[in-house]
Amino acid sequence: MLKALYYLLWDNPKAYNTVVNYTIQTSKYLLIGFTSVCTVTLVALFLLQRKLIYPSSFPQGSRHEVMLPSAYGLSRFENETLTTKDGVKIHIYLIKSNMLNCKNTLLFFHANAGNMGHRLPIVKCLFDQLHCNILMLSYRGYGKSLGSPSEHGIQADVDALFEFALSNEYTKDTSFFCYGQSIGGAVAIDTCYRYADSGRISGLIVENTFLSLPLVATHLFPALSPFKFVVRDKWDSKSKIASLQDSLPILFLSGKKDTLVPTSHMIKLAAIARAKRAENLLNEKSNEETSSSKAETLKPETSMPNTVHNVTFIQFHNGDHNTTCIQPGYFDSIFSWWSNFAYRRLNPLVLGIIIVDSQGLCLASWGSLKDQCSPTVISIIDHAEALLPNSISDDVIPYIKIETEAIKLVFKRHLDWSVAIALPKNAPVKVDFPDTSNNSNNEISFYSQDIHT
Q: Tens of pLDDT along 403-439?
A: 554 444 444 444 454 555 544 444 555 545 444 444 4
C-alpha torsion sign, points 165, 170, 172, 176: negative
Q: Give the mean pLDDT of the chain.
A: 75
Q: What is the CA radius of gyration of the chain?
A: 30
Please say whether the dihedral angle defined by the alpha carbons of residues 333, 407, 177 and 239, taken in this order, is positive or negative: negative
Q: Are strands 133-138 and 89-95 parallel, antiparallel or unpaired?
A: antiparallel
Q: 110 near 119, Cβ under 8 Å?
A: yes
The DSSP secondary structure of 386-422, one letter per residue, reads: HHS-SS--TT---EEEEE-SS-EEEEE--SSEEEEEE
Q: CB count, 10 Å around CB of 314?
A: 20
User: Judging by DSSP bridges, how do beta strands 445-451 and 429-435 pair with one another?
Assistant: antiparallel
Confidence of residue 378 (pLDDT cuts 50, 70, 90): very low
Round to whole Å and give the CA distance between 406 and 412.
Answer: 21
Question: Full-prediction pTM beyond 0.85?
Answer: no
What ranges do the domains of the chain cover? 2-52, 69-346, 352-451
Reported as a pLDDT band with limits 50, 70 and 90, residue 220 is: confident
Task: Identify the pLDDT of residue 129.
Answer: 84
pLDDT at 212: 96
- The dihedral over CA atoms of 187, 193, 194, 197, expressed in degrees to the nearest 10, equals 140
Cis, bond preceding 59 (omega within 30 deg of 0)? yes
> For the chain, how far is it from start to end, CA to CA, in angstroms?
104
CA atoms of 91 and 134, how far apart (whole Å): 14
- Measuring CA to CA, which residue among 177, 185, 236 is closest to residue 206? 185
Q: Lowest-confidence range among 18-22, 136-140, 257-261, 282-286?
A: 18-22
Fold of 69-346: Rossmann fold (3.40.50)
Q: What is the pLDDT of residues 48-87, one digit of tens each?
A: 688 889 999 999 999 999 999 999 999 999 999 999 999 9
Rounded distance between C-alpha atoms, residue 215 and residue 150, angstroms: 17
Q: 41 pLDDT exceeds 80?
A: no
